[in-house]
């Protein structure tokens, strides 16, 4: 099979491609080393574990990328001013 050329648009896509390759290569090895009659069971076990981790990392990367521009908008965080008495105001809750 000849290598494929495709464009990776951003670092998140590059991470996901890298992680997918990190999943597939050991999966191939698992299939080659599995005893006759056990290939499917062992391959499914490896694919499920690796697939969950790939999905988790991809989701984490996309959410982190999405959060970055949003964090730059708006005011900078600052402490809220306290009342002049230094005590919290409001009604006390009755204890049961």
pTM of the model: 0.58
Q: How far apart are CA 68 and CA 80, in angstroms?
A: 24
Q: How far apart are CA 57 and CA 11, in angstroms?
A: 13
The confidence score (pLDDT) of residue 6 equals 81
Q: How far apart are CA 26 and CA 51, in angstroms?
A: 12
40 has pLDDT over 80:
yes
Q: Which residue has the tokens 């988790």?
A: 56
CB 46 within 8 A of CB 27: yes
The token duo for 20 is 């997918």
CB 77 within 8 A of CB 57: no
Does residue 29 come out as left (phi exceeding 0), alpha (psi in the -120 to 50 range) or beta? Answer: alpha
Q: Domain boundaries in the chain?
A: 11-69
DSSP code of residue 36:
T
Q: How far apart are CA 29 and CA 23, in angstroms?
A: 11
Does residue 84 or residue 62 have the better pLDDT? 62
39 has pLDDT over 90:
yes
Residue 48: pLDDT band with limits 50, 70, 90: very high
């Amino acid at each position: 099979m000849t290598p494929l050329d495709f464009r990776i648009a951003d670092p998140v896509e590059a991470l996901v491609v890298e992680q997918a390759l990190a999943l597939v290569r050991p999966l191939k090895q698992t299939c080659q080393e599995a005893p006759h009659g056990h290939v499917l069971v062992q391959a499914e076990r490896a694919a499920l574990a690796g697939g969950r981790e790939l999905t988790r990392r991809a989701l984490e990367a996309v959410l982190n990328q999405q959060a970055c521009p949003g964090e730059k908008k708006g005011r900078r965080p600052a402490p809220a001013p306290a009342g002049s008495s230094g005590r919290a105001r409001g009604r006390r809750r009755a204890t049961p």
